[in-house]
Each structure stands twice: as structure tokens, then as C-alpha cells.
Amino acid sequence: MPYFDAASSAPLHPVARQALQASLDEGWADPARLYREGRRARLLLDAAREAAAEAVGCRPDELVFTSSGTRAVHTGIYGSLSGRRRVGRHLVVSAVEHSSVLHAGAALEADGGTVTEVPVDRTGAVSPAAYAAALRPDTALACLQSANHEVGTVQPVGEVAEACRATGVPLLVDAAQSLAWGPVEDGWSLLAASAHKWGGPAGVGLLAVRKGVRFAPQGPADERESGRSPGFENIPAIVAAAASLRAVRAEAAAEAERLRVLVDRVRVRVPELVPDVEVVGDPVRRLPHLVTFSCLYVDGETLLHELDRSGFSVSSGSSCTSSTLTPSHVLRAMGVLSEGNVRVSLPVGTASSDVDRFLAVLPGVVSSVRQKLGAPTSPPSPAPDGTDLTIDALGKRCPIPVIELAKVIGDVPLGGTVTVLADDEAARLDIPAWCEMRGQEYVGESRRERGSAYVVRRVE
Amino acid sequence: MPYFDAASSAPLHPVARQALQASLDEGWADPARLYREGRRARLLLDAAREAAAEAVGCRPDELVFTSSGTRAVHTGIYGSLSGRRRVGRHLVVSAVEHSSVLHAGAALEADGGTVTEVPVDRTGAVSPAAYAAALRPDTALACLQSANHEVGTVQPVGEVAEACRATGVPLLVDAAQSLAWGPVEDGWSLLAASAHKWGGPAGVGLLAVRKGVRFAPQGPADERESGRSPGFENIPAIVAAAASLRAVRAEAAAEAERLRVLVDRVRVRVPELVPDVEVVGDPVRRLPHLVTFSCLYVDGETLLHELDRSGFSVSSGSSCTSSTLTPSHVLRAMGVLSEGNVRVSLPVGTASSDVDRFLAVLPGVVSSVRQKLGAPTSPPSPAPDGTDLTIDALGKRCPIPVIELAKVIGDVPLGGTVTVLADDEAARLDIPAWCEMRGQEYVGESRRERGSAYVVRRVE
């Protein structure tokens, strides 16, 4: 049963399991104690810190273990903001950061600070120039992920770090998605990551803060982990995290090459096998194991459910698969289609045959979902006479508004318009994305008392 | 090699190990995902929550898992303070709470709030009347541990809860030390605990918040654990924590009875075997497995080191064993001797013969440490003529100032005084405690340019 959602959480690496089991006997005591059980625990913790620091590319005393990647991000952001409070309370982030970064930004804004979100292009990458332009004299911290968690696009960390260095702004890199594959490009000031993304156990994040970076831990004092991560250290899990990071790194180059081929196969074959699909993210500057595509006229939740029934575990940024019923902020920032969105992220060791089986199953699954929804199967018929049309899709959820639009576009003449009334958040993203895919002109959106009116002009 | 420091961290319970290993295969995926691996993880998490809630005595939806007991305490305190901000910013704590509580209080004070520390008696217990008197109209939260972590004294939680209820103040109970032995007395509003104290794995705390208690989680938003504990859930560890809590509870009554006998043996035999020892904490209302005593004229660090060499792992609240070189705040609040302090906390399953061996070894170890330090071995000689004496113990660390005092007390006449000049923090606690133990009169302390002058009058 192939699990294709390594970007959410990777199955435990065999080395992590071994290390965890071995250190349950040696690592349960308090490493701050002076007796033998404490000294043994301390030795394990120190060795794990050295191994993790080597993989990160920092000094052991620059690295602390946290209880999760989210905690590492929060601690890094708050510690930096507080350490540089005299400079200002302005934070720069990319629009496609992980929610842990964006939520920390929202909390800063609620507390009177300001946040600039640097937009991304249609591949999901920030422009170094745009990022540099967002830096201000009162910028306390800049955040940029090493690679995007939803579409796999690698960010220009080195160039952005250079811009940050030039203006004296520390750069926090969320390396959660990429650390398994190699160290982050030079120039970062803080780095956060999460062990369960590389096959380590849950419950371990890491935060590296370069010497000389102003940093003031927030919250109640605690002596553990240099005062940067309160609470009793989870040493068996930390040992397992460090050991598995070293293990995945040892095989990273070869495995990246192998998975890159499998992902390329998905990138090429899916649009050939399934009509009306948009593969998103940068095709070249990307994580080796991750590919995302969106299928027109498909309801993401049903698609995931059907793939699950066929044995494939994938995730989605579609609105219907989120608790807030809004499409993923990443897809929104990229301006790409969100309906029928599927993220495939291959765990280390994924068999080529599993990917082939996925490619064999997907077309039938998508087509059955489309059939159920009554999606159009052929291009619009030649334009008859006619006038502008309005579709009332109020109260209808993604992908219905787009399906209704596609069904009637052939009924208006070239130059005529279709106005879609819709109150589902996904329509704002998906109607323009459909126009882009179909070569039709997206005229614009106007707010109505309920929902919005989206106007599309038929141009082909 | 007997490990007698369960109050710091208990060795992993066999049930915890089993549950951890079993759930590594099922519990690594994201429980928020809809595919089968996610659903399995969710089932495990739900079952663990139900088991833990049953042991705590609350509803499953009142309980969240945190990454440590410290996090549970911090989250509980900040969430309550924030939820009741309109009431006021006053916090009541006992003077002997765990540092996680006191540090949260210090952070509140630094932020403009106020904290009242309710004092304890010589056994380490608060008086319910004194606690009730500390509650004010602007009190947002009251905190009381169920039992003390250093001396084992059980607090009158039920009576304090009643006083809190009467004034409408929520009570947070830090149950870290007692949850293994049974549920906390009724009446609490919030409850925090830590799995590695009961033989669960590190990396798991729990926080229960009764329905209806005002609570506003602080920090960046996060959907996990009802928004009260950000970061990816550590499900295998959570499963192991819940399973081991249930397991230790099943054996708690019988094991408590057995360990209580062993601890009573230590409480009775140590003062018989070792001269000049003070056993501290309530002899009756106490945890079953924990006993603490202090040895006059002994340096705690050397004592721990020698006991470690003899195969016994214990901890100490002596100043020389703390990184800040101040005696434990618990011993200080109780006003008992801190020098040569030893805490013995027996893990579940401790053999009676190990306790006997400890009792056989301890006298020799204490006596050798005393010999090295040149401690007085006999009571002061009959008083000769003489005048008041002054001892310069400036720059000398605990227990030297007390040793010097004991050596010369016989040299002053009845009614004469010895003035000890000392700048070691422990002297402030240990000189009065020595007077109490020896039946001499402690006159008082006056500050000097360097350190203090402690005046003792010989009365017997």
C-alpha cells in the first residue's frame, strides 16, 4: 500500500528505530544530573547534538533540540524578534511559508508589529530582487523556506541571504522539507527543521542560531537546551533523530537521483494520461521527491478518498480538504488551479513499480470523479449566436462553479462573456486558473452582497 | 546499581516500552490526514486520550497532550491568565512549586503582573487558610502542586480548591509527582503532569482544562490538540505514556504500600545510623516513595559523588549541587537544613534489599565526607571562660561555615555568642537550621559589605 505523503510525515527510518530502541535503556535519565544514569544521558545528548550540527553545518553549541519543527520556528522567530526589538518590529516572509511561520507573523501583527509577505511567481519561487526590496531599516527578521512543502519549488536562499547580509537583517530558513537532502545554502542566521520529515521520530525539531545573532528566548526561564527549549529533553528520540539524519544523508545523493526520475515520470505522464491537468511548481529547481498537480473539474476530497481506496495515500491543497474550506495559501499565492489538487511526495525507498501503478490507477479515478460531478468531457462546441450568460453557482462548492462555467462557455459567442456567481473561496483562484489553462480571458471579479461575480470572456 | 531518583525521571516502564515499539509502525503519520495511515494514527491518539482522561478523572475533550510537563504548566498558566485577563493579573502560587510554575510567575511579574507566594510550614505544606487569604478579587489563577517534588509532602489540594471555588478563582494543580499514585482530589480547574515521571517516555506532558474554565491559548495559532499544543503530535510516545499510566495505576495501591514501608525504614534508620541528620517533609501526608534528609557538616556534591561511586543515584537540593550555588527554594521556604541534602525517590519495583544496602553504605560515606572536611565529631566541650567569638568564613562554601561554627560553639560560655561572617547563600538557611537542630539560639543576621554576619547564642 504505497504511502506518497512523505512531506507530511515520513515513515520511521530503520536507523531511527534502532537508535530509539537502543537509547531507551541509556537515555531516560535527566542529563543535568551528576550520577551515572545522568552522565550517560548527557553523553548521548552531546553526541546527537554533534551529529546533527555536522549535518546542518553549524557548531554544536549553535544547535538546540526542540519538541517539534513548529516549536523550532516559533522559538526562532520570537527569539529573533525580541533580540532585535530595538531595530524594529517588521518581519519579512515569503507568501508560501509553512503555516507555523505565517501564524507567528499573524501573532506579531496582532501584537502591533508589521509583516511583509513577498509574493511568488507561478512556480512558487520568490524573486531575490523582490525579497531584497521588502527589507527595511526596521526589519527585525526575514524568513524564507529552503523549499516549498506543497509544490517542491526550491527557493533562492543564497541570493536572499546575500541581500539580508547586505542590510544586516538575520535570515531564518525553515529547512523542514530539504534538510534530508543536504545542507542549506550558506548565509542563514537561523535554521529550523523537523525530524519526522526525514524519517526521524515525532517530537524532535531543531533550531540552529549562529553565534553573534541577537537572540532573546521568550517565555519563562528554563535551563535546558541553552535556555532556548524548555522541558525535559527527549533523549531517545533526539538520538534517533540525529542518527537517521546522518543515515538519510549518506544515501541522499543516490536516492535523490532515483526519485527525481520517478517524479519526472509523474510530471510528464500525468498530463498525457489525464486531460485538463496542471502540473505546478518549478520543474527543475525542485525537491527530488515531490510533485503536485491539479485536475480540473474534480473535487479534491473525493479524489483523495478514491485514491486511498485504491491504496495510495496522498495529500491535497484543495479547499474541500482543509478545515477552513479555503484553498492552500501556497496555491493561492502562486495563482494556480487548486481544484482536484494532489501532492505526491515519495518516501525514501519508493519502488518504481508503485509509481507506475499510481499512473495506471489515476486516470480512471479522475475520470470517475468527473463523471459523478457531470464535468464536461469535450471542448466547447462552435459558437452559436448568443448573448452574455450568467451562472448562479452560489452555495456550490469547488469544483462545481468551474464545471458550470466550462459547460456553458461554448454557448456564448467569441467575445461574449460568462459571469459566474459563486461564494466558494476556491472560485477566486480556480476560475482565473481555468482561464489560463483554457486560453480564455479572465476579465475580473466584483463583490456582490453574497459572494462574488467572476467574469470570463470567450476568446477562443 | 540502584537508581533512587524516580522523582527526576523514572526508568521506562516495560508497558511503555512495549506500547512505544508497537505504535512506531502505526503512529508515525499525521492524524489530521484522511488516508489510512492518518486514520490509524488518529485512532491511536483518540484511544490514548481516553485512557489518560480516565486516569486523570476528566473528559477526553478536556485533555491535550503537550511536549513536556513544563510545557503543560506554562500553557496552562498562560492560557488561564490570558482567558481571565479582565479579572486581573494576580497569580497565587505556593512557595514550593516546581520551577516551571515559579518561572512562569516571574515572567508574569516581569510583564507587569503580580504574584503572591503562599509560605509553607516546616513540613513543606501550605495552610489552606493562608492560601485562601492570598486570593484577591483580581486573582486570575491559583497554582498548587499535588505533592512536593523535593520532600514528598502532600498539599491540601481539596481544601484549597474549595477556597478557590468559593472565590471563583480557577486552580491549576501540578500533579507531576503524584499522578502515578492516583487521581488528584476533586475541585481543580486545570491539571498538568509529565509522563516520564510515571515511567512513560520523555516528550509527553498532559494538560487538562475543565469545561467552562476561561482559557485563551497564547502564541501563534495551531490547529493541533484543540489549539492548545502546537506542533506535530508525537503519537507513539503519547500511546506509551497513556498505556504506562494505566499500568502503574493498576499496581499503585500495592506498590505504594510496599514502598511506604521502605521509605519509613529510611526515615527511622537514617537518624539512628548517621549522627546530626534532619529528615524533612511530612512523615504521614507524603508521597509513598520519596524521602529527603540533610546531613550536617557535609558537602552535598561530594556526598552525591561518593554515593554514586557506591552505586546509588540520588539527588540533592544542596547549594553546591545547583548551577546557581543557592540551596533549593523548597528547603529555603521550609526553613530546614540544606547542607548535605539527599533526596531518595524509589522507582516502582525497588527491592527492599537495595534500600538496606543504602542504609548500610550511607553512614560510612557521610562520615568519610565529614572527616575530609574536618567536621566536629563530638558535642562541644563544657564551656570554659571566654568571650564572644567571631569566625571569618567569607569565601568558604557550604558546609564549611556551619562546621566552623560547630567547632567553636563550645569555646564560648553559656549566654555568649558566635558571629559567623559568611557570603555563601546556604549559610542563611543552614545556620538557623543548625541552631534548631542543636538547641542553640539563632539571634539574627545583619548584612555586611561582603556577605552577612550570623549571630548564634550558646544556650546549652
CB contact under 8 Å between A68 and B220, yes or no, is no
Residue at A103: amino acid letter:
H
Percent of chain A with pLDDT over 70: 98
A443 three-state secondary structure:
strand
Average pLDDT, chain B: 94
Radius of gyration of chain A (CA): 24
- Could you please report the per-residue DSSP string of B288-306? TTEEEEEETT--HHHHHHH
H-helix segments, B85-185: 99-110, 128-134, 157-167
Task: Estimate to the nearest angstrom the gap between the alpha carbon of A305 and the chain centroid.
Answer: 21
Task: Classify domain A389-457 by CATH number.
Answer: 3.30.110.40
B371 contacts: CB under 8 Å, gap ≥ 6? none
Tell me the mean pLDDT in the region B22-42.
Answer: 93
Q: Which residue of A has its CA nearest to B200?
A: A28
The percentage of chain B sitting over the pLDDT mark of 90, rounded to a whole number, equals 89
Question: Which stretches of B210-276 are assigned E, i.e. beta strand?
Answer: none
The Cα A321–Cα B28 span in angstroms is 21
Per residue in A327-369, pLDDT (tens digit) is 899 999 999 999 999 999 999 999 999 999 999 999 999 999 9
Dist CA A65 CA A230 (whole Å): 10
How far is it, in rounded angstroms, from Cα A457 to Cα A417?
4
Distance CA A148, CA A276 (A): 24
How much of chain A, in percent, has pLDDT values that exceed 90?
Answer: 88
Can A252-373 and A389-457 be said to share one CATH topology? Answer: no
Identify the three-state secondary structure at position B173: strand
- The helix/strand/coil state of A329 is helix
Distance, CA of B112 to CA of B89 (rounded, Å):
8
Examine the pLDDT at A325 and tell me if it is beyond 80. no
B101, exposed or middle or buried, with CB in 10 Å at 0-12, 13-18, 19+? buried
Neighbour order of strands in the sheet with B205-209: B63-66, B205-209, B190-194, B171-174, B139-145, B90-94, B114-118
Calpha distance A135→B86 (Å, rounded): 38
> Hey, what's the torsion of the CAs at B446, B447, B452, B454, to 10 degrees?
0
Cβ-based contacts under 8 A for chains A and B: 195
Give residues with Cβ within 8 angstroms of A46, minimum separation 6.
Answer: A60
- Distance separating alpha carbons of residues A157 and A154, to the nearest angstrom: 8
What is the per-residue pLDDT across A373-430, written as a single tens digit (0 to 9) for each?
888 875 555 545 557 899 999 999 989 999 999 999 999 999 999 999 999 999 999 9
Length reported for chain B: 460
Contacts of B99-104 with CB under 8 Å at 24 or more apart are: B99/A222, B99/B329, B100/A220, B100/A222, B100/A230, B100/B69, B100/B70, B100/B73, B100/B74, B100/B174, B101/B73, B101/B77, B101/B143, B101/B145, B101/B174, B102/B329, B103/A220, B103/A221, B103/A222, B104/A220, B104/B73, B104/B74, B104/B77, B104/B78
Put simply, whether B35 touches A (Cβ < 8 Å) is yes
A222 touches chain B (CB under 8 A): yes
A57 Cβ partners below 8 Å, 6+ apart?
A183, A184, A186
Residues 6 or more apart whose CB falls under 8 angstroms from that of A434 comprise A296, A337, A402, A405, A406, A440
DSSP alpha helix (H) spans, A4-35: 14-24
CA distance B448 to B453: 7
Q: Is A279 helix (H, G, I), strand (E, B) or coil?
A: strand
Cell of A286: 525542485
C-alpha cell at A406: 466550462
A194: which chain B residues are within 8 Å (Cβ-Cβ)? 232
pLDDT, tens only, B185-241: 999 999 999 999 999 999 999 999 999 999 999 888 888 998 899 999 999 999 999
Task: Assess whether pLDDT exceeds 80 at residue B109.
Answer: yes
Q: What is the mean pLDDT of chain A?
A: 94
Distance from B418 to chain A by nearest Cα, in Å? Answer: 36
Tell me, yes or no, if A40 comes closer than 8 A to chain B by beta carbon: no
- Name which of A318, A385, A218 is nearest B74 in CA terms: A218
What is the pLDDT, as a whole number, of residue A383?
Answer: 47
d(CA A100, CA B221): 8
Cell of A386: 448568443
Q: How far is B309 from chain A (nearest CA, A)?
A: 9
Which grid coordinates belong to B259? 514502598
A100 touches chain B (CB under 8 A): yes
The answer to whether A220 contacts chain B (CB < 8 Å) is: yes
Asked if A9's CB is within 8 angstroms of B30's CB, the reply is: yes
Residue A101 DSSP symbol: H
The pLDDT, as a whole number, for residue A323 is 75
Placement of cell 507513539 in the chain: B236
Q: Which fold has domain B14-249?
A: Aspartate Aminotransferase; domain 2 (3.40.640)
For A33, the closest of B5, B24, B203 (CB atoms) is B5
Residue A223: per-residue pLDDT = 85
Please state whether the peptide bond connecting residue A399 to the residue before it is cis, i.e. omega within 30 degrees of 0: yes
Give the mean pLDDT of B257-263: 98
pLDDT digits (tens, 9 = 90+) for A33-47: 989 999 999 999 999
Instruction: Give the pLDDT band (50/70/90) at residue B383.
Output: very low
Q: If we measure between CA atoms, which residue out of B202, B235, B200 comes closest to residue A11?
A: B235
Q: Is A320 a catalytic residue?
A: yes
Q: Is B157 helix (H, G, I), strand (E, B) or coil?
A: helix
Give dist(CA A20, CA A89) in Å, integer.
Answer: 41
For A33, other C-beta atoms within 10 Å of its C-beta total: 22
In this predicted structure, the answer to whether residue A188 has a pLDDT above a threshold of 60 is yes
Chain A CB contacts of B220 under 8 Å are: 74, 100, 103-104, 106-107
- Whether the pLDDT of residue B384 is over 60: the answer is no
Q: Which residues contact residue B166 at a Cβ distance below 8 angstroms, ignoring those fewer than 6 apart?
A: B132
Does the pLDDT value for residue B297 go beyond 90? yes
- A67/B203 touch (CB, cutoff 8 Å), yes or no: yes
Scan residues 423-452 of A and list those with Cβ closer than 8 Å to B: none
CATH no., domain A252-373: 3.90.1150.10
| Each residue's pLDDT tens digit, B324-367 | 778 899 999 999 999 999 999 999 999 999 999 999 999 999 99
Pairing of strands A452-457, A441-447: antiparallel
Domain A14-250 has CATH 3.30.1550.10: no
| Catalytic one of B58, B143, B295, B320 | B320
3-state secondary structure B311-358: CCECECCCHHHCCCCCCCHHHHHHCCCCCCEEEEECCCCCCHHHHHHH
As a whole number, mean pLDDT of residues A7-11 equals 95
d(CA A57, CA B150) in angstroms, rounded, equals: 41
Tell me, what's the pLDDT at B222? 86
Q: How far B248 CA lies from chain A's nearest CA (Å)?
A: 17
User: Measured between CB atoms, does B221 come within 8 Å of chain A?
Assistant: yes
Whether B263 contacts B72, CB under 8 Å: no
Residues of chain A with C-beta less than 8 angstroms from the C-beta of B202: 28, 232-237
Q: How confident is the model at residue B279 (pLDDT cuts 50, 70, 90)?
A: very high
- Rounded to two decimals, the ipTM of the complex is 0.92
DSSP letters for B47-108: HHHHHHHHHHTS-GGGEEEESSHHHHHHHHHHHHHHHTTTT-SEEEEETT--HHHHHHHHHH
Query: Contact B233/A202, CB-based, under 8 Å?
Result: yes
Structure-block grid coordinates of residue A358: 499510481
Greatest distance between any 2 Cα atoms in chain B: 90
Question: Once rounded to an integer, what is the mean pLDDT over residues B94-112?
Answer: 96
- Looking at residue A379, its pLDDT comes to 57
Residues of A in contact with B313 (CB under 8 A): 29, 33, 35-38
Q: Which residues on adjacent β-strands are paired with residue A278? A: A294
Bridge partners (DSSP) listed for residue B115: B91
**H helices present in A291-424, as ranges:** 300-309, 329-334, 352-373, 400-408
Inform me whether the pLDDT recorded for B378 exceeds 70: no
Going by pLDDT thresholds of 50, 70 and 90, the confidence category of residue B379 is low
Task: Tell me which of A226 and B253 has the higher pLDDT.
Answer: B253
Domain boundaries defined on chain B: 14-249, 252-373, 389-457
Phi, psi (degrees; rounded to nearest 5) at A263: -65, -40
**Segment A291-308 mean pLDDT:** 94
